[in-house]
A and B are shown apart, each in its own frame.
Chain A
Amino acid sequence: MEYVIEMLNIRKEFPGIVANDNITLQVKEGEIHALLGENGAGKSTLMNVLFGLYQPEKGEIRVRGKKVKITDPNVANDLGIGMVHQHFMLVDTLTVTENIILGSEPKKYRLSIDMKKAEEDVRKISEQYGLKVDPAAKISDISVGMQQRVEILKTLYRGADILIFDEPTAVLTPQEIQELIEIMHNLVREGKSIILITHKLKEIMEVADRCTVIRRGRGIKTLNIAETNPNELASLMVGREVSFKTEKEPAKPQDTILSIKDLVVKDARKVDMVRGLNLDVKAGEIVGIAGVDGNGQTELIEAIAGLRPVESGTILLNGKDITDLPPRKVTEAGVGHIPQDRQKFGLVLDYPIGENMVLQTYYKQPFSKRGVLNFKNIYDKAKSLIKEYDVRTPSEFTRARSLSGGNQQKAIIGREVDRSPDLLIAAQPTRGLDVGAIEFIHTKLIEERDKGRAVLLLSFELDEIMNVSDRIAVMYEGQIVAIVKPEDTTEEELGLLMAGSKKQKVGES
């Protein structure tokens, strides 16, 4: 049998929804098989069925041609199936080796752990597959990319030869993504098979051999990557044509809305992160901030939003000084803020999604009167926002926690845009989202611009910056070092500017 894993006609229901409806997935030995689908399409459910976390209502699973019943993850382990989780399952205070052997420790005289053998084993596996780690380092001391390697080693140590990667690149830097792709190629060369769950087309094109697309719980198609292209994959995934290039009219900038002068902001360690920054954003334009993470972008955004104290300098909104105002005053002055970390700042995850829709306006009419909330008005509002912004949720009473990342983000964007702020700050608005959601969000940002709002976009994705912005402000070491127009520049030039090289021809500011 050439298939190492076969999931035939799998059906999995949850109360109220069919998460997997008759999906078939066949993985060949020694291939990288991508599982592509939008957020909430049912990818993770399918993999949790394979890993024994869920039991399917219908369908059968075959491993190496033999019909099996995977009742829990231990059975999956015994069958050689290993899962590299998106959210790492590591013990921070233990070392790399200790984490890897946890649960299947080599014993000495059946009493103590044979640490010497353990470290040797770990070293051997890590060399074999080109997974560089320091076996003695503590998890809390190593980078996210390194932690992921530990997760991979964990599965290999347990003898897995079918590895499931659940959105492995979501937390990695571009450099780390390249290294991971290298690692995946190494694994396949050593005879492993890989199932890669993702919604990033670029990665699939780069690394996968074949790809199964699922959409809204249904298996759509399995195709060879060599015979397809990103456009086809995207339209299969979303179910309609998707454009990567966002269509927009040229900007018609008007009055200056946001004006930042000589701004200095410190981070939590009291280090100057924003160092005398100047920037203007006009009504009717989108200014994109490009830069390598850690050059003061987060501090800048938080200072404007009132979440971080300003050391010196001024921030003017419509000519009014909003420097160091508390967040509520900043909001009331006309600032909308789509925060970088949507789960930490953007939502109270344990509140219903409906109540999250009024997180900044609950104290105003019609959502409350004399301090008493009017839930009918709150949920009416939420319902209309949910509809308008296509937030997919069982109901407006569902906790925000149980929505997928893309739908959480759509809810936040709906809330922020609906207040029709003069300045809309969008910090990494599409991070971790699929192409359909990205397209939607970009369209919304441009719509806001066309309504005459000022939009400040922070993104680490150059594609996004080039695509959406009308002007690009390059941020380096706490200052805006250049302002360029996307049509006058290239990604290469931006990359150089972001790395600190001076621009020859100074762009207009």
Chain B
Amino acid sequence: MSSNKFINLLVPIISLLLGLIAGAIIMVGFGYNAVEGFKALWNGAFGDIYFIGETVRQITPYIFSGLAVAFAFRTGLFNIGVEGQVIVGWLAAVWVGVAFDLPMIVHLPLAIAAAAIAGAIWGFIPGLLKAKLRVHEVIVTIMLNYTALYIANHLVRNVITDKGDRTESISSSASLKSQWLMEFTQYSTMHMGIILALIAAVFMWFYLEKTTKGFELRAVGFNQHASKYAGMNVEKNIILAMVISGAFGGLAGAMEGLGTFGYMSVQSGFTNIGFDGIAVALLGGNTALGVVLAAGLFGSLKVGALNMPVAGVPTELVDIIVALIIFFVASGYIIRWFLSRMKRRENK
């Protein structure tokens, strides 16, 4: 048992090291200084309080989108539609933020709730189709991503604005930005959303592991036949799982809409927050704590990489290095296999 736990901890660390080594080889191979490159990456993510603020800001939506994918996964569903849920959540939050003038104590929760509800609706559709008609959720969610993107663009351009490229900025009563935080982090774009994200992670852990509803959701994910036999309502649980997953996705959008940007612009393509959420969730082993840690890694790499050109490493190469690190971390299975092989050797 304890050796298992040890391996669970060892694998991601080895993966990360291998990724860094692979990145170093690439840099050296192209004639750049790997040490300087990684130093720039580190400084870009954690070099001073400003960079830390930026990193935390990037981690926030990743936690939400990772939780969205992980929650669905734990209940036996593959939610590829987090991207679409992010977009509708972003739009709903900004719309409420722009349209009303209310005291903050009402306005901000209302805007956040709007994002969660919009995402939940976007998750409800594939959940309903899966439960009632056995339509595979992967197909429906992929299509709903595009639907969300183009509907949101249409609404921003033609309904919320008059042929504009972006909405107005939300009123400050709906904003997650905090003067104190901005000053503390030397005017980074960090906002209060990280607190919500951590609360959401605790919520997911508690809901799945400690409540009767979570017991049902996980049981349905593992074995629908036994769940039905045990008297659980399989269809209702599938829909509920997608609704909650979608709400997490919508909240990831709210982080962008109410925190980072404060408006929504016409999107030329996907935000990738939802798609990265898939990697975050898998990397985090689909557990709440794992998602927070994986989101931390993703966010740090993403922000830190922006600083690597300082060390002369071109941005294209930075993308390759980041991708390699993620590749190695995600291929933990290979390392696990290798470790178990070594262990068997020892036994001989």
**Which residues of A are interface residues toward B (Cβ below 8 A)?**
15, 55, 71, 305, 307, 326-332, 337, 339, 344-351, 355, 359-360, 362-363, 368, 371-373
Q: In the assembled complex, which residues on chain B have CB atoms less than 8 Å from the CB atom of A329?
A: 231
Interface size on B, residues (CB 8 A): 21
Report if A348-B213 is in contact (Cβ < 8 Å); known contacts: A305-B229, A327-B229, A331-B231: no
Say which residue of B1, B222, B227 sits within 8 Å of A350 (CB atoms).
Answer: B222
Q: Hey, which chain A residues are within 8 Å of B230, CB to CB?
A: 327, 359-360
Is B212 a contact of A362 with CB atoms below 8 Å?
A: yes
Nearest Cβ in chain B — how far from A222, in angstroms? 29
The residue that A55 contacts in the complex, of B211, B233, B347, with Cβ under 8 A, is: B347
In the complex, which residues of chain A have a beta carbon less than 8 angstroms from the beta carbon of B225?
344-345
| B223 & A373 in contact (Cβ 8 Å cutoff) | no
A-B contact pairs, 13 of them (CB 8 A): A55-B347, A71-B348, A307-B228, A326-B233, A327-B231, A344-B223, A344-B226, A347-B226, A355-B215, A360-B231, A368-B211, A371-B211, A372-B211
Measuring CB to CB, which residues of chain B are less than 8 angstroms from any residue of chain A? 1, 210-213, 215, 218-219, 222-223, 225-233, 347-348
> Of the candidates B212, B226, B227, B233, which one forms a contact with A373 in the assembled complex, judged by CB atoms under 8 Å apart?
B212
- In the complex, what residues of B have CB within 8 A of residue A346's CB? 226, 229
Least CB distance from A295 to B in Å reads 22
CB of B44, distance to nearest CB on chain A (Å): 41
Q: Known contacts A327-B228, A359-B226: does B219 contact A55 (CB below 8 Å)?
A: no
Q: Is the CB of A372 within 8 A of B215?
A: no
Could you list 4 further interchain pairs (A-B, Cβ under 8 angstroms) beyond the known A305-B229, A360-B230, A372-B210?
A71-B348, A346-B229, A348-B226, A362-B215
For A373, list chain B residues within 8 Å (CB): 210-212, 215
Task: Check A55 against B229 for contact (C-beta < 8 Å).
Answer: no
Chain A residue nearest to B230 in the complex (CB): A359
CB of A328 within 8 A of CB of B231, answer yes
**Across the interface, which residues of A come within 8 angstroms of B1, CB to CB?**
15
A331 partner residues in chain B, CB cutoff 8 A:
231
Contact pick for A345, options B226, B232, B347, CB 8 Å: B226
Asked whether, in the complex, the Cβ of A372 is within 8 Å of the Cβ of B226, the reply is: no
* B213: chain A residues within 8 A (beta carbon): 371
Give min CB distance, B221 to chain A, whole Å: 9
In the bound complex, residues from chain A placing their C-beta under 8 Å from that of B210 are: 372-373
> CA of A339 to CA of B302 in the docked complex: distance in angstroms?
52
Q: Across the interface, do B222 and A372 meet the contact criterion of CB distance under 8 Å?
A: no
Contact A345 B229 (CB under 8 A): yes
Most B CB atoms within 10 A — which of A307, A327, A330, A360? A327
Q: A363–B227 Cα gap in the complex (Å)?
A: 13
**Given A371-B211, A372-B212, residue A348 in contact with residue B228 (CB < 8 A):** no
A260 to B274, CA, bound (A): 53
Measured between beta carbons, the chain B residues less than 8 angstroms from A305 are 229
Instruction: List the B side residues contacting A332 at CB < 8 Å.
Output: 231
Knowing A55-B347, A327-B229, A360-B230 are in contact, say whether A368-B212 is a contact too (CB < 8 A): yes
Closest B residue to A69 by beta carbon equals B348
Residues of A within 8 A of B223 (CB): 344, 347-350
Cβ of A303 to closest chain B Cβ, rounded Å:
13
Contact A326–B227 (Cβ < 8 Å): no
Chain A contacts for B347, CB-based, 8 A: 55
By the criterion CB–CB under 8 Å, are A351 and B229 in contact? Answer: no
Identify B229's interface contact among A307, A349, A350, A371, CB under 8 A.
Answer: A307
CA distance A329 to B231 in the complex (A): 8
Q: In the complex, what residue of chain B is closest to A375 when comparing beta carbons?
A: B210
Contact B229 A339 (CB under 8 A): yes
B-chain residues with CB within 8 Å of residue A344 when the two chains form the complex: 223, 225-226
Q: How far is the CB of A275 from chain B (nearest CB, A)?
A: 25
Complex Cα distance, B222 from A339, in Å, reads 18
Complex formed: what's the CA distance from A15 to B227 in Å? 32
In the complex, which residues of chain B have a beta carbon less than 8 angstroms from the beta carbon of A330? Answer: 231
* Assembly CA distance A347 to B222 (angstroms): 10
What residues of A have a CB within 8 angstroms of the CB of B227 in the complex? Answer: 348
**CA separation between A362 and B211, bound complex, in Å?**
10
Write the nearest CB–CB distance from B343 to chain A, whole angstroms: 12
A424 nearest CB across to chain B (Å):
15
Q: Which residue of B lies closest to A341 (CB)?
A: B225
In whole angstroms, how far apart are the Cα atoms of A332 and B231 in the complex?
9
Q: How far apart are A310's CB and chain B's nearest CB, in angstroms? A: 16
**Which residue from chain B places its CB closest to the CB of A329 in the assembled complex?**
B231
Smallest CB-CB A-B distances: 3 pairs: A328-B231, A359-B230, A345-B229
A373 to B211 alpha-carbon distance, docked (Å): 5
Residues in B whose Cβ lies below 8 Å from that of A328: 231-232
A362-B229 Cα distance, complex, nearest whole Å: 14
**How far is it, in angstroms, between the C-alpha of A368 and the C-alpha of B223 when the chains are bound?**
22
A305 to B347, CA, bound (A): 50
Q: How far is the CB of B64 from chain A (nearest CB, A)?
A: 24
> Is there contact, CB below 8 Å, between B231 and A351?
no
Query: Which B residues are in CB contact (< 8 Å) with A345?
Result: 225-226, 229
Residues on the B chain within 8 Å of A368, using CB: 211-212
Please indicate the chain A residues that have their CB under 8 angstroms from the CB of B226 in the complex.
344-348, 359
Given contacts A362-B212, A371-B213, A373-B212, contact A349 B222 (CB under 8 A): yes
Complex interface: chain A residues within 8 A of B231 (CB): 326-332, 360
Nearest CB in chain B: distance from A247 CB, A = 32
Report how far A101 CA is from B213 CA in the complex, Å.
50
A330–B215 Cα gap in the complex (Å)? 21
Interface centre among A55, A337, A359, A368 (most CB of B within 10 A): A359
Q: Are A351 and B219 in contact (CB under 8 A)?
A: yes
Question: Given the complex of chains A and B, what is the CA–CA distance between A373 and B246 in angstroms?
Answer: 25
* Chain A residues within an 8 Å CB radius of B348: 55, 71
| Cα distance A378–B230 in the bound complex, in angstroms | 16
Q: How far, in Å, is A368 (CB) from chain B's closest CB?
A: 5
- Cα A265 to Cα B222 with chains together (Å): 28
Bound complex: CA A344 to CA B222 (Å): 11
Give complex CA distance A355, B222 in Å.
13
**Residue numbers in B under 8 Å from A371 (CB-CB):** 211-213
State in angstroms the CA–CA spacing of A373 and B231 once bound together.
Answer: 17
- The answer for the CA separation of A371 and B211 in the assembled complex, in Å, is 5
Residue of A nearest to B344 (CB): A55
Q: Give CA–CA (A371, B190) in the complex, Å.
A: 36
Q: For B212, what are the chain A residues with a Cβ–Cβ distance below 8 Å? A: 362-363, 368, 371-373
Residue of A nearest to B1 (CB): A15
Give A305 to B228 CA distance when docked, in angstroms. 10
Are B219 and A348 within 8 A (Cβ)? yes
